[in-house]
Amino acid sequence: MPVFWRLCRRRGVALSPRHSFRASSVLFASERGCRVAWEMNLNLDYVALLVASLAYFGMGALTYSPLLFGRAWMRLSGLSAQDVAAAPKFGPYAFTFVCALLNVFVLAEVLDYVQTTSLRGAWGVATLLWFGIYVAARAPEAIFGRQPWKLVLINACYPLLGTLVASTILTLWPGPA
């Protein structure tokens, strides 16, 4: 018997057999009872997640390329072309892709939770997540680290573009037949 089920029974809450708690369930046990607050949807389309993650990752390549902000980012970061060329290649890129995959997974979960089916709704969710989580976390770091605001804005473009593109792919991806 799961721990939360025992906790709910101890509080006198009768749970019906239809309550199935998995490791992916987030439960709240309170004085008012026990309920499933959110349950991860592990039936996501993994091909869509992979494509959206690659697109998110690609937005980083585009953002930091000379086509967009690469030169300005290097100058504001105090890096030279030699510094960038001498940096390790595989490890940081692999880690960045894993982070993109995690971002897209969380985005897919939130989009599924709010049950948005329109691009406008998906972009609203993506922008809200970007602003409420990324910007809210990075702004104090930028202030206390005395980073130039241009650098902060360049670094903020990548997750915004990545989240918008990933939300577009996840929303428009054809579901299972």
**How many angstroms separate the CA atoms of 176 and 32, rounded?**
38
In this predicted structure, what is the pLDDT of residue 84?
83
Residue 177 lies in a domain: no
**How many angstroms separate the CA atoms of 45 and 72, rounded?**
37
87 and 166 both lie in a single domain: yes
Neighbours of 168 (CB within 10 A): 16
15 and 92 both lie in a single domain: no
Neighbours of 69 (CB within 10 A): 20
87 and 165 both lie in a single domain: yes
Question: Which residue, chain included where needed, has tokens 């980083």?
Answer: 60
Nearest CA to 166 among 94, 83, 110, 89?
110
Q: Which domain holds residue 35?
A: 3-39
Spatial neighbors of 48 by CB under 8 A, at least 6 apart, are 108, 169, 170, 173
Per-residue pLDDT, averaged over 41-70, amounts to 90
Secondary structure (3-state) at 118? coil
> For residue 164, what are its two tokens?
């918008």
- Provide, for the chain, the percentages of residues in helix, strand and coil under a 3-state DSSP scheme, each rounded to the nearest 5: 65, 5, 30
In this predicted structure, what is the pLDDT of residue 29?
46
Angle at 136 between CA 92 and CA 80, to 5 degrees: 40
60 and 12 both lie in a single domain: no
30 and 105 both lie in a single domain: no
**How many angstroms separate the CA atoms of 165 and 167, rounded?**
5
Q: Is the model's pLDDT at 7 over the cut of 50? A: no
Report whether 119 contacts 171 (CB < 8 A).
yes
In this predicted structure, what is the pLDDT of residue 12?
46
83 and 63 both lie in a single domain: yes
DSSP 21-50: --TTEEEEEETTEEEEEEE------HHHHH
- pLDDT digit string, tens, across residues 144-165: 989 898 999 999 999 999 999 9
- pLDDT digit string, tens, across residues 76-90: 999 888 888 888 888
Q: Which residue has the higher pLDDT, 121 or 177?
A: 121
115 and 158 both lie in a single domain: yes
